[in-house]
Amino acid sequence: MNALFLAYAYLRYHWARSAVLVVVAALILFVPAATQILLSTSERALVARGEATPLVLGARGSELDLTMSALYFSDERPDPIRMSQVEAIWDSGLAMPLPLHTAFSSGGFRIVGTTLDYFGFRDLEVAQGRGLTLLGEAVIGAEVAQALDKGVGDALVSAPENLFDLDGVYPLEMPIVGVLAPTNTPDDNAIFVDIKTAWVIQGIGHGHEDVVTAADIASGTDALANAAVVQYQRITPENIESFHFHGSQDDFPASSVIVVPNDTRSGTILKGRYLDPESPTQLVEPAGVIRGLVDRIFRIKTLLDVVTAIIAVAALAAIGLAVFLSYRLRAGEIATAVKLGARRGMVLRLLAAETVTLLFVAGGFAMAGAVVVSRNAESWVGFLLALGS
Amino acid sequence: MVEVENLGFGYRGGFRLAIPQLSLADGEKLAIVGPSGSGKTTLLNLVAGILVPDSGRIIVAGTEVTGMSDALRRRFRASRIGFVFQDFALLDYLSARQNILYPYRITPALVLDAAARDRAEALAEACGIGDKLDRHPAALSQGEQQRVAICRALVTRPRLVLSDEATGNLDPDSKARILDLLFRQAEEAGAAVLAVTHDHELLPRFERVLDFAQYRQETPA
């Protein structure tokens, strides 16, 4: 008790030195713990998303790019595939295809064109407003709503792809009709629209004022369209009828397709159909791709552990030196204690109490930090994964 | 109070201290003078049981210190002997009050109870630092620091106070005042004072003065 009293008095009086030692010791304890928590959570999050997505169909190329594009809406843009591939999946009767069009963005967040089945597949719930019903509407993820400070009734404008392409993509203003409940997945960072809306953004579909009126037809007047024809940049109930698509929908693009087989057998049959290396498309299992990625991350973690251990040893040596020098500086105090009759063990107990108190406080801070990291790991990992996409 | 008989103590490769006989009566104030290195501080350490003599006996308050184990000597020192040092030896991280009560924190031979706390406050009042008990040494003058050290030496009600150049770091005006204070408090506590000093102006205040040069013997090379 007396040793603790003296230790506390010493550490409190020399608070700056004590604080430095506590911070260093706390960091030594905290960093490996936090790294472990975040990596474990990352692994769980990555694997969970991968395992929740049975198969992904896309253009042949990097399996990882395709998986990251389909699961995390990443910046990687695999070559698009034709919608006829989606129809082929439907027609096979073996699986449900969920096309994804992830070529555009708004406010720094990915615009994901898909079908309503995607919301059911991911168990996405609308927290405010309603789901998609009309062409041109958008439902935004929870993180998008918070970051852009947008909600139901607001609107988003798609980012122009090329300012100098006069024949190119026009920005489309999309009213927000719903905000999704947070899921701590990449869906929180996505702006969902119907895939047809994505095609409108791409310029495949468009709406404009009538070029030929009924009177023109009746009088047999030839009409010639030019740049004076007003292109609609927002789809409204008044102009929605004028929106139309040119060409066959089979030729329209999709970035990737999530394929949900009816059963294991169906999945196996489908995988067999896409084994041909000459085929322009591939069917990948995201779980396997993600596991490969996680294995790589954990190989890097091993290196990180070694670096952390080296830093920890160096920092502990520095702390040990600081404590040793502190005890050397206190030789006079120890001599006084001995002259006043201190027990032989008292001096050792006093020094031990100071060291233990420092480590205890440092351990407390490290543990508190680890608890904070642990409690927020899922949302932080979700944010980090979104940053990387 | 103190009886020294045929005391012999030598530093390896250094001088040898040889004291055939030395005594100090209860409540007596004895000054030890002598040139530097004559063994004055060594005698204090021998009497306190910090050093163990090669030969001879030291009896303090009726107890033979030289026959005790290290642990017993420490207990005896904590409960029967008070120390005042030239550099005050106060702990910077403790307040004046905590410094005075420091002996109670470092040995189980003493119990820190309300009586001890009252005694610390009464001593501080008597020494004129009653209003500075919550200050740390850095906030006290040198004279005030030495008063704290005197309170620390006397708070355990020792039978013997060992003073090692207690006034050596003080200005001339403070020296006499601090020494008088030490004597007065020692008298009230019924303690004898064995003091090492270089200050000849202070010697008339002691009841007896012992020149220590006579006890030093050079060790043959």
With CA atoms as reference, report the closest residue to A258 among A110, A138, A124, A101. A101
How close B221 gets to chain A, by Cα (Å)?
31
What average pLDDT is seen over chain B?
Answer: 87
- Provide DSSP, A244-287: EE-S-GGGSEESEEEEEESSHHHHHHHHHHT--TTSSEEEE-HH
Per DSSP bridges, beta strands A55-59 and A281-284 are antiparallel
Determine which of A90-99, A303-312, B49-58, B111-120 has the lowest per-residue pLDDT on average.
A303-312
Q: Which two tokens stand for residue B95?
A: 């307040």
| Region at B88 (left for phi over 0; alpha for psi -120 to 50; beta for the rest) | left
Mean pLDDT of A93-113: 92
**Mean pLDDT confidence for A87-93:** 91
The interface residues of chain A toward chain B in range 297-356, judged by CB-CB distance below 8 A, are 332-333, 335-344, 346, 350
Residue in B closest to A343 by C-alpha: B107
Contact (CB<8Å) B93/A340:
no
Question: Please, are residues A64 and A291 in contact by the beta-carbon 8 Å criterion?
Answer: no
Our CA-based measurement puts residue A22 at a distance from the nearest CA of chain B, in whole angstroms, of: 18
pLDDT band at A302 (very low <50, low <70, confident <90, very high): confident
Amino acid identity of residue A192, one-letter, is F
User: What is the reported pLDDT for B103?
Assistant: 92
Q: Does B15 touch chain A (CB under 8 A)?
A: no
Q: What is the DSSP letter of A208?
A: B
Q: Give yes or no for B111 touching A (CB within 8 A).
A: no
pLDDT at B29: 92
Tell me the C-alpha distance between B215 and B18, whole Å. 5
User: What CA–CA distance (Å, rounded) separates B55 from B69?
Assistant: 16
Which pLDDT does position A167 carry in this prediction? 53
pLDDT value at A174 more than 60: yes
Query: In this complex, do A12 and B93 lie within 8 Å of one another by their Cβ atoms?
Result: yes
8 Å CB contact between B98 and B153 = no
- The pLDDT, as a whole number, for residue B218 is 60
On the question of pLDDT at A258 being above 90, the answer is yes
Q: A12: closest CA among B142, B95, B138?
A: B95
Q: What local confidence, expressed as pLDDT, does residue A388 receive?
A: 53
Residue of B132 and A228 predicted with greater confidence: B132
B77 touches chain A (CB under 8 A): yes
Give me the mean pLDDT over the A99-121 stretch.
92
Look at residue A227 in the predicted model and tell me its pLDDT: 54
Reply yes or no on whether the pLDDT at A350 is more than 90.
no
Q: pTM for the complete prediction?
A: 0.63
CA distance to partner chain A, nearest, from residue B107 (Å): 5
Write down the ipTM of this complex. 0.84
Residue with tokens 């930090």: A369
Q: What DSSP string describes A107-158?
A: TTEEEEEE-THHHHHTT--EEEE----STT-EEE-HHHHHHHT--TT-EEEP
Q: Do B107 and A341 touch (CB under 8 A)?
A: yes
Residues of B in contact with A339 (CB under 8 A): 48, 50, 77, 83, 85, 89
In this prediction, residue A59 carries a pLDDT of 92
CA distance to partner chain B, nearest, from residue A358 (Å): 16
Pick among A6, A340, A344 to test the B interface (most B CBs inside 10 A) = A340
Mean pLDDT of B35-39: 82
Q: Model confidence over B155-191: pLDDT tens digits?
A: 998 999 999 988 877 777 778 888 888 888 888 888 9
**Does residue B78 belong to the interface with chain A, where contact is any CB pair within 8 Å?**
yes
Tens digit of each residue's pLDDT (9 = 90 or more) over A132-155:
988 889 999 999 999 999 999 999
Q: Out of A5, A335, A339, whose CB is closest to B48?
A: A339
State the nearest Cα–Cα gap between A365 and chain B, in angstroms.
Answer: 24
Residue A222 pLDDT > 80: no
**A-chain residues near B98 (CB < 8 A):** 9
The pLDDT of residue A192 is 96
Distance linking the first and last C-alpha atoms of chain A: 56
A5/B93 Cβ within 8 A: no
Is some CB atom of chain A closer than 8 A to the CB atom of B91?
yes
- Identify the CATH class of B2-217: alpha beta
**What distance in Å separates the CA atoms of residue A336 and residue B162, rounded to the nearest whole number?**
13
Is the per-residue pLDDT at A225 higher than 80?
A: no
- Torsion sign across C-alpha atoms A234, A235, A241, A247: positive
pLDDT of A384 over the 80 cut: no
Higher-confidence residue of A234 and A349: namely A349
pLDDT band at A95 (very low <50, low <70, confident <90, very high): very high
Chain A residues 14-73 within an 8 A CB cutoff of chain B: 14
Which pLDDT value is given to residue A221?
A: 62
**In this structure, are residues B39 and B213 in contact, taking their beta carbons and an 8 Å threshold?**
no
Q: Is B71 on the interface with A (CB under 8 A)?
A: yes
Check residue A386 and give its pLDDT.
63
Nearest to A341 among B74, B92, B112 (CB): B74
Indicate the helix (H) or strand (E) that contains A226: none
| CA distance, residue A46 to nearest chain B CA (Å) | 53
pLDDT at B152 over 90: yes
**What pLDDT, on a 0 to 100 scale, did the predictor assign at position A201?**
86
In this prediction, residue B96 carries a pLDDT of: 96
Q: What is the mean pLDDT of residues B6-29?
A: 85
Predicted confidence band of residue A218 (pLDDT cuts 50, 70, 90): low
CA distance A185 to chain B (A): 53
Interface with A, mutate which of B46, B77, B91 (most A CBs under 10 A): B91
pLDDT in tens, A259-300: 999 999 999 999 898 888 888 899 999 999 988 888 887 787
Task: Identify the three-state secondary structure at position A177.
Answer: strand
So what's the pLDDT on residue A362? 92
* 3-class SS of residue B121: helix
Which alpha helices (DSSP H) does A93-165 contain, by range? 117-121, 142-148
* The pLDDT value given to residue A363: 93
Reported as a single tens digit per residue, the pLDDT across A150-171 is 999 999 988 876 555 555 566 8
What's the burial of B113, exposed, middle or buried (CB within 10 Å: 0-12/13-18/19+)? exposed
| Cα distance between residue B33 and residue A197, in whole Å | 105
In this complex, do A346 and B107 lie within 8 Å of one another by their Cβ atoms? Answer: yes
